[in-house]
Structure 1
Amino acid sequence: MGFFSIPFLPLLLVFITVSPLYVFAELKKYEWTISQRALDPDCFGTSYPALVVNGQFPGPAIRVTEGDDVEIKVHNECNEPTSIHFHGIRQYGSVESDGVPDVTQKAILPGHSYTYQFRAIGQIGTYFYHAHVGTQDDTVQGAFIIDSIDESIVNPSELILPKDNPQFRNANTSTYTHHEGPYGYDDEFTIELTEWWHQPPLLRADYYLGTQYTFDPAADSILLNGVTVFQNATVEERQNCPNHTTIDVLPNSTYRLRLIGGTTFHTYGFAIKDHELTIIEVDGELIEAYTTDHLEISPGQRFSVLIHTSAMEETSEDEDDDEPIFAIATSYRYRANATGHTDNGFGYLQYVLPSSQPDDDKSRSHPLDARSNIPSSHSLQKRAEVDDEHDDGKLDDDTADVSAAASPDDGKLDDDTGDVSAAASPDDDVDEDDPDAVDEAKRNAKLVRHPKPPKPTHMDFPSIPDPGNSRDWIWPNLKPLYGSALLEGEPDRTLKMRSWAITLPDNTTRYLINGRLAPMISDMQESQHSYLEAKLEYDGFEPIVGTYPIQLNETVDIVLQNVQSGQNCVYHPWHTHGHSHYIIATGEGEYIHELDKDKRNYPHSILRDVSPVYPGQVDPNTQGCGWTKIRLHADNPGLWAVHCHITAHMLLGKMFLLEEAVEYMHAYRMYM
Structure 2
Amino acid sequence: MWSAKKWKSALQALSFLLVLFLHRQASADYNWVVKESTYTRLCSTKSILTVNGKFPGPVLRAYAGDIVYVNVHNRGRYNITIHWHGVKQPRNPWSDGPEYITQCGIQPGGSFRQKIIFSVEEGTLWWHAHSDWSRATVHGAIIVYPKPGTSYPFPKPYAEVPIILGEWWKSDVMEVLDEFVRTGGTPNVSDAYTINGQPGDLYPCSKSETFKLSVDQNKTHLLRIVNAAMNSILFFSVANHNLTVVAADAAYTAPISTPYITISPGQTIDALLFTDQQPGRYYMAARAYQGNLAIGFDNTTTTSIVEYKDGNGNGKTAPFPYLPYYNNTNAAFGFFNRLKSLAINQTDVVKTTTTRMVSTVSVNTFPCLGNQTCEGPNGTRLAASMNNISFVDPRVDILQAYYYYINGVYKEGFPDFPPLIFNFTAEDFPLILEIPERDTKVKVLEYGSDVEIVFQNTNLVAGIDHPMHLHGHSFHIVGTGFGNFDVKKDPLSFNLVDPPLRNTVTVPLSGWAAVRFKARNPGVWYLHCHLERHLTWGMDTVFIVKNGKHPNETLPPPPPDMPPC
TM-score (norm 1): 0.69
> 1:381: which partner in 2?
none
> 1:552: which partner in 2?
447
The answer on whether the counterparts of 1:551 and 1:660 sit within 8 Å (CA) in structure 2 is yes
> How far 1:219 sits from its partner (Å)?
1.7
Q: After TM superposition, list the pairs within 5 Å mapping 1:60-459 onto structure 2.
A: 60-150=58-148, 152-153=149-150, 180-210=152-182, 212-229=183-200, 231=202, 233=204, 237=205, 243-310=209-276, 324-337=280-293, 343-353=300-310, 455-457=314-316, 459=318
Q: In 2 relative to 1, CA 486–598 (structure 1 residues): closer, same or farther, beyond 3 Å?
A: farther
CA distance in 1, matches of 2:528, 2:449: 21
* Aligned partner letter, 2:314: K
CA distance in 1, matches of 2:506, 2:271: 20
| Per-residue CA distance 1:40-66 (angstroms, 9 max, x = gap) | 23xx22223321111111111111122
Which residue, out of 500, 506, 526, partners 1:612?
A: 506
* Aligned partner letter, 2:457: N
Q: In 2 relative to 1, CA 475–604 (structure 1 residues): closer, same or farther, beyond 3 Å?
A: farther
> How far 1:475 sits from its partner (Å)?
2.7
Which of the two has greater strand per residue?
2
> How far 1:340 sits from its partner (Å)?
13
* Aligned partner letter, 2:361: S
> 1:411: which partner in 2?
none
Q: In 2 relative to 1, CA 181–660 (structure 1 residues): closer, same or farther, beyond 3 Å?
A: same
Aligned residues: 497
The answer on whether the counterparts of 1:221 and 1:344 sit within 8 Å (CA) in structure 2 is yes
Q: Does 1:465 align with 2:320?
A: no
> How far 1:242 sits from its partner (Å)?
5.0
CA distance in 2, matches of 1:591, 1:344: 34
Q: Does 1:518 align with 2:490?
A: no
Gaps (5+ residues) in structure 1? Answer: 1-19, 155-179, 313-322, 357-452, 617-625
> How far 1:590 sits from its partner (Å)?
2.5
> How far 1:651 sits from its partner (Å)?
1.1
CA distance in 1, matches of 2:439, 2:238: 51
> How far 1:205 sits from its partner (Å)?
0.9
CA distance in 2, matches of 1:550, 1:561: 21
Q: Does 1:628 align with 2:513?
A: yes
Q: Does 1:32 align with 2:32?
A: yes
* Aligned partner letter, 1:476: N
Q: Does 1:502 align with 2:376?
A: no
> How far 1:554 sits from its partner (Å)?
1.1
CA distance in 1, matches of 2:19, 2:202: 51
The answer on whether the counterparts of 1:330 and 1:342 sit within 8 Å (CA) in structure 2 is no
Q: In 2 relative to 1, CA 76–488 (structure 1 residues): closer, same or farther, beyond 3 Å?
A: closer
CA distance in 2, matches of 1:243, 1:454: 20
| Per-residue CA distance 1:373-400 (angstroms, 9 max, x = gap) | xxxxxxxxxxxxxxxxxxxxxxxxxxxx
> How far 1:469 sits from its partner (Å)?
4.0
> How far 1:21 sits from its partner (Å)?
9.8
> How far 1:562 sits from its partner (Å)?
1.1
> How far 1:569 sits from its partner (Å)?
1.7
Sequence identity percentage:
23
CA distance in 2, matches of 1:668, 1:83: 21
The answer on whether the counterparts of 2:526 and 2:543 sit within 8 Å (CA) in structure 1 is yes
CA distance in 1, matches of 2:174, 2:118: 33
Q: In 2 relative to 1, CA 95–335 (structure 1 residues): closer, same or farther, beyond 3 Å?
A: same
For the residue of structure 2 that corresponds to 1:185, the secondary structure is: coil
For the residue of structure 1 that corresponds to 2:89, the secondary structure is: coil
> How far 1:537 sits from its partner (Å)?
6.7
CA distance in 2, matches of 1:231, 1:551: 52
Which residue, out of 454, 472, 477, partners 1:583?
A: 477
> 2:347: which partner in 1?
485
* Aligned partner letter, 2:355: R
> 1:669: which partner in 2?
556
The answer on whether the counterparts of 1:547 and 1:659 sit within 8 Å (CA) in structure 2 is yes
The answer on whether the counterparts of 1:497 and 1:561 sit within 8 Å (CA) in structure 2 is yes
TM-score (norm 2): 0.81
Q: In 2 relative to 1, CA 68–528 (structure 1 residues): closer, same or farther, beyond 3 Å?
A: closer
> 2:7: which partner in 1?
none
For the residue of structure 2 that corresponds to 1:143, the secondary structure is: strand
For the residue of structure 2 that corresponds to 1:204, the secondary structure is: helix
> How far 1:545 sits from its partner (Å)?
6.6
> How far 1:198 sits from its partner (Å)?
1.7
> How far 1:641 sits from its partner (Å)?
0.5
Q: In 2 relative to 1, CA 602–242 (structure 1 residues): closer, same or farther, beyond 3 Å?
A: farther
